[in-house]
Amino acid sequence: MRTWTGKPYPLGATYDGSGTNFALFSEVAEGVDLVLLDDAGRETRVPMTEIDRSAWHICLPDVGPGQRYGYRVRGPFDPAAGHRCNPAKLLLDPYATAIEGQLDHHESLYGHRFADGAEPNTLDSAGHTMLSVVTDRGFDWGDDKPPGHAYGESVIYEGHVRGLTRTHPALPEELRGTYAGIAHPAIIGHLTGLGVTALELMPVHQFVQDGHLAEKGLSNYWGYNTIGFFAPHNAYAAGGGRGEQVTEFKQMVKALHAAGIEVILDVVYNHTAEGNGKGPVLAFKGIDNSAYYRLSDQDRSQYYDTTGTGNSLLMRHPNVLQLIMDSLRYWVQEMHVDGFRFDLAATLARQFHEVDRLSAFFDVIQQDPVISRVKLIAEPWDLGEGGYQVGNFPPLWSEWNGRYRDAVRDYWRGREGTLGEFASRITGSADLYEHDRRRPLASVNFVTAHDGFTLRDLVSYDRKHNDANGEEGRDGEDDNRSWNCGAEGETDDPGVLALRERQQRNLMTTLILSQGIPMISHGDELGRTQGGNNNAYCQDNPTAWIGWDLDESGERLLDFTSRLIRLRRRHPVLRRRRFFSGRAVGHTGLPADVEWLRPDASPMEEEDWTLPHAGTLTMFLNGEAITEPDRYGNRVTDDSFLLMFNNTGAAVDFHLPGSRFATRWTLLFDTATTDTPDERELKPGGSLRLEPHSTVVLRSDREDRGRPRP
């Protein structure tokens, strides 16, 4: 085989039309063999003799796209010193842009023979592990361009490639559960009809199926077990060609962009699928264990784990930072994605032990001309000490607001003493974000996500029902802040069912009309249930898939949610760019930008917020008090709105505020009814009865709108 010297950069396998350059980083390696595999699995080993700045490299002019390959690394096997090199292990390329196959969990995949790890396992892992594949990056993007939705215009839809498409009746069977399935007009039509602006996909980086789950007949459905940070997960490809997943992924992105929908990836850079010292040796561990992973200062054979998965990446190592940044840029520049949601992002901020918002990771993100310009969303916690960091990420970032989720759930389940917290969360959580000049758009608001109950289950179960996971109920969150509305699980009681529908509408209304960025968990708009399972990570079956055969309740909820999103999209006062000040803008005597009223329409006093049984509230949003121009420099004014909340079990008469707020009120939404309300007019000074557990939305119509008022 002809060989050329090659280049140390870029890392990975790079085909340029005249050959393929291979480059692999390892500081500890004493020798590296590039392994090429034919269709029968026969190996050709090519020694890599060139090394520059710890990058081993070679160029093969006769190798092109479709070639399967791996590495064998010779070096120290000394777990006590943090080293686990073992040439018996065929290793993945950390920069592979496509990966073929899946693990079979053979004993050869593990690095040592005995429990104490004293001797290396010399069984060859070839034939039992995954293989890297050389790809051609060429693709006809045509006129594709990012939709470029402003944060304030965003409505995010968290979805799963399989769960979103697996049972849709309009999809051919071969497209179900695939990237091509998401690109199908039926799925895109649902998303555009709903009104979402971004699809946030749960992990699509190549991930590994866990052996202990396979033994139970289960699988790692969610995919938070990454092994390839550049490779789209191969099982989500409809085509069977080698590297086909790359082309299909690009076609999916192109189709979503054409429909005006952004693509955000849920990425897992905090750990890998290799686990701790007892886990398999697949890539990083056998290439340079002590460079890639955080090891215990007291015992280098042990891993410092803040993720609950066995390992954490060593974020202070420059080559780990390079790996992550190269990966992010690849997905933006080559795959055209529009942003990222970072799983357990507090781990990425642990440059040393503590979470540090000035860590190197944030520094490199901030200055990067590509990544700093896409949407960046943090899951701002991990499992380590001091890991709950909601409100503490840098200004460039938005965050999943866990406190929003908890406060909204608590309010609508009727927990006492929650009114003040509820008001803070639905107005953008200024107490969390304003101190360092962040905006309401720092808060990604959600009531449900993949982890936990669905919206329907949140109002149907008081406790988790996870028996199908095979862990005797030990897995999943116990504190769900849910309320079953009077019966646990499935019921035919019409009163309970009606209340559950109402509660779903209450929660969805709160979510969509809160300041910040709303995120809907896939299927919640249809009334999807997981049967009370709040940890469906291993359920690749109808438990976790969307059921598209809707009953009347599901149809009503879909229509209701779509109308809410349309209202939000039309009115900038419902998605303000700045926090409320609580002050009037302009002429003396005008209402403040936000005002809080009791049911009798008098202003809320300090003691009203702290009453233990307080459950009613009126919020006035002044559309004429928006103080900042839009992104085109135009001064913005808008209609004003009245949101009335009643989380109690009794009907309450609310008085409608007088002429200082409106010359007439128009009823837009009433969660107490399943019917679409006529936009009927109501007079200021009159009253409106709010049924138990209900929300009403009214628009303020002023005859003198736009003119100074006394």
Return the active site residues.
343, 379
Q: Which helix or strand (DSSP H or E) is residue 264 part of?
A: strand 262-267
* Strand pairing class (262-267; 131-133): unpaired
* 135/133 Cα distance (integer angstroms): 6
Query: For 81, which DSSP code?
Result: G
Strands (E), 118-254: 131-133, 156-159, 198-201, 205-207, 226-232
β-bridge mates for residue 43, sequence order: 37
Tokens in use for 213?
């789950």
Both tokens assigned to 34 = 């590039």
Token output for 653: 């008469």
- As a whole number of angstroms, the distance between CA 509 and CA 653 comes to 20
Distance, C-alpha 527 to centroid of its chain: 20
Cα(670)–Cα(506) distance, rounded to whole angstroms?
9
256: its two tokens: 């979503």
The residue among 4, 32, 43 whose CA lies nearest residue 20 is: 4
Q: Which residues contact 303 (CB under 8 A, 6 or more apart)?
A: 276, 277, 293, 294, 295, 296, 310, 311, 312
Longest dimension (CA), the chain: 89
DSSP structure class, residue 470: S
Distance CA 691, CA 648 (A): 9
Which three-class secondary structure string do you get for 25-63? Answer: ECCCCCEEEEEEECCCCCEEEEEECEEECCEEEEEECCC
203 and 223 Cβ atoms separated by less than 8 Å: yes
* Closest to 226 measured CA to CA, from 249, 253, 205, 199: 205
